[in-house]
A and B are shown apart, each in its own frame.
Chain A
């Protein structure tokens, strides 16, 4: 059995000679193993990064190797939200709604500079990082990230899933946004997260 082939400290197996085809293991481990290897993605592809996501899913890079064969285009049957591309303010409530529709346990990958920080779009229209809207597990840098980078992110996520503890219910609590403002982190924090940095400070003057 696949479980025995990869003995990990988590697996407690009975001697196969006596076991008659059954093993004992920690339930946590078994469940996590199952989850980590069949993460169904919900591609929230908006822009250029979505094209690289398609390339990752296509024949050369073949996401199916990671148990991601099935693209869950319905958020209700998906485990990982892969936000590939920029998220303008007009799309923000849509992203939030899709995240809320996904069942627990769920994870989010923020693919690309735009999804993670707003990237090169530090202007009036673009959300400066989707972590101000939904909680993110893995950030993938790059503009766009190469398919290898996305695959690396998925493997990181698999590692994270393997470390889940069922007793740790807090990790799976649905984040309830503040009903008044719909924000789930304080406004001051959002302003701090979306501050200008690097090159975008001197480049705010038009016409020189």
Chain B
């Protein structure tokens, strides 16, 4: 497993510590004018104890959605942070009880809408568990490609929006350019840019079209260059370093206890990755590494996510090389519809088609919890079946909901402007938090 890479900071005005790691020292005005490196005076004595309340959100560009934070400030220091969520509560889990398994897939697009393909596949994995279906080898590899592509585009949005929050606009434009390339690929595959509904119980919505892999190859070749450019732009940038290092620190024990997952947990120094530790889709057979941070601050979260995108590219390359021929959908009449030409010409197939669509396939009584490593962390779908065509309970285990619940712990004691950076580093997506 990869150790965390160390970073040399060339441009930073804030200095480098003995361990070669950028240091964050508050800049304050010196006595003789000019800026000096020293700790700020504790508090202005006459203002001490006067607390102020401010409200950020729910409609605020830096809260990445409709999150609302009520902050109690002492001067500029946050002494208390109360998050209010639920402004995007849309009743996903209730609706799931009224839909057949395949009908739920469009909803999975919309709960974490930055990671649509990944959610589709995660849900299908859970449903296939309930039906006891083994998917085909080609489908397995295609799903790996889909999941990693969707991890890349999710991290890209994170990078772009976080950069905007911290004051750099360019990475946003670059990352959306790359996203457009992936959108084009997805559009060629399943016909939609964002809300893909790419998978089905027992297979995928469609096989990849001819020549699709060439487009993917071109993307995989070009994308690391963009990543390098962003890296040059941000990693050693004085402003970036100054505004991210040492903020929102979570120790590994705390991070585990708060239930953090994904890059948040790994940046805190716990090398838990669902793909490695509870593998699915044969992830154990790919050669890749889990980046782990050791400082648990905003900067390490950034490093971990950048490295994850590189590792995803590695996985996609290997998956492309091993993509086998063969059918995408399983040969299981319980869940897979007959081909269209048969459904319109043979009575048997038509009845089968009709029953499958109108009544829906019925899994055995049971329950399954299938977790995948989503870009935000451990995303799980828990389904309980009572033998009918619709689940009794469809539970989404939302990683960013749990990650966000640690925000009071992370921001208290920091400055107001750092709240924005810390909040951005959690990589929240409100659709998933509020569901």
Contact = CB atoms under 8 A, between A and B. Distances in A.
A25 to B, nearest CB: 37
Interface in A51-75: 51-52, 54-55, 58-60, 71, 73
Contacts of A121: 90-91, 95
Contact of A123 (B94, B110, B172, B194): B94
B173 A59 contact: yes
Given A58-B177, A120-B106, A90 B86 contact: yes
A48 B15 CA distance: 41
A126 B109 CA distance: 17
Nearest to B387: A207
Contact of B107 (A46, A71, A120): A120
A124 B66 CA distance: 19
Nearest to A57: B176
Interface in A85-118: 85-86, 88, 90-91, 94, 98
B90 A86 contact: yes
B390 interface: yes
A144 B195 contact: yes
B385 to A, nearest CB: 10
Contact of A88 (B90, B95, B97, B194): B90
Interface stretch (B33-41, B57-65, B120-128, B287-295): B57-65
B65 A46 contact: yes
The binding surface of chain A is classed by DSSP as: loop
Contacts of A124: 91, 94
A126 B99 CA distance: 18
Q: In the complex, which range does the number of interface residues on chain B fall in?
A: 35 or more
B88 A88 contact: yes
Contact of A90 (B61, B89, B94, B176): B89
Interface residues of A, number: 38
B147 to A, nearest CB: 18
A193 interface: no
B176 A207 contact: no
A57 B76 CA distance: 33
B390 A58 contact: no
Interface string B322-366: 000000000000000000000000000000000000011000000
Contacts of B195: 48, 143-144
A50 B63 CA distance: 13
Interface string B58-96: 111100011000000000000000000011111100110
B430 A51 contact: no
B193 interface: yes
Contacts, number: 111
A48 B110 contact: yes
A60 B193 contact: no
Nearest to A124: B91
B177 A46 contact: no
Given A54-B176, A94-B87, A208-B388, A203 B99 contact: yes
A125 B91 contact: yes
A203 B90 contact: no
Nearest to B157: A51
Contact of B113 (A51, A58, A59, A203): A51
Contacts of A58: 172-173, 176-177, 180
A85 B110 CA distance: 10
A18 interface: no
Interface of B: 58-61, 65-66, 86-91, 94-95, 97-99, 103, 106-107, 109-110, 113-114, 157, 172-173, 176-177, 179-180, 183, 193-195, 359-360, 386, 388-390, 392, 430-431, 434
Given A59-B177, A88-B434, A120-B107, 19 more contacts: A46-B65, A46-B66, A46-B88, A47-B88, A47-B90, A48-B113, A55-B180, A58-B177, A85-B88, A88-B88, A90-B89, A123-B91, A125-B89, A125-B90, A144-B194, A144-B195, A207-B386, A208-B388, A208-B390
Interface of A: 43-48, 50-52, 54-55, 58-60, 71, 73, 85-86, 88, 90-91, 94, 98, 120-121, 123-126, 143-144, 146, 203-208
User: 3 closest Cβ contacts across the A-B interface?
Assistant: A58-B176, A48-B113, A125-B91
23 contacts: A47-B65, A47-B431, A48-B194, A48-B431, A52-B194, A54-B157, A54-B176, A55-B180, A58-B173, A59-B176, A60-B177, A90-B86, A90-B87, A90-B89, A120-B106, A121-B90, A123-B91, A125-B90, A144-B193, A144-B195, A146-B193, A203-B98, A207-B392
